[in-house]
Structure 1
Amino acid sequence: MSMYVRVKRQDQTVFLRAEASDTFRTVKVALGDILSLVLDDIKLYGKDKETVLEDEGTLGGFEIGNDDVIFWGQRMDGSTFEPASGN
């Protein structure tokens, strides 16, 4: 069953259509395609803004459902990622 997931960073929000079985890598690919970002420069965080969502994990495995929010951070200086931000 399809759902929508909000992916937030600072003042940006991207709405993605997804399936519970989608991996976080799939989410990163979709986000990268929309925003012209390099996949390796994206890090996803859970609802708590602290849990790093690893590529092989799934939306359903982390109980992310329709209209839930996850967060993304971008690589800042070639090695360090910014922390999750947004409301």
Structure 2
Amino acid sequence: MASSLMSRRVEQQLKGDEGLSHPQYEVLVRLSATPDAAPGHVALVRELFIDALEPGQIALLADALETVGHRLRGDAPPPPGPPAR
């Protein structure tokens, strides 16, 4: 029980302060501790995916993925934001 409550509080803090889930944070921690966290892969994904999108499109994608994440976790999605564009 205490472990669940602590995990929930950590998740809430990360989401509130950094906009990250605990698993996302764990991935970032592991990648930051790795000297060469697949730099070729990162560069290719940035070139083919991220650089092809406008900042507004990236924000829309992030919002959409957040909604999908809420659905997959079975928790309530955040209230909808203003319409795009």
Structure number with the higher helix fraction is 2
- Above 0.5 in TM-score? no
Query: With structure 1 as the length reference, what TM-score do the two structures score?
Result: 0.23
Q: TM-score, normalised by structure 2?
A: 0.23
Compare CA radii of gyration and give the structure with the larger one.
2
Q: Which has the higher strand share?
A: 1
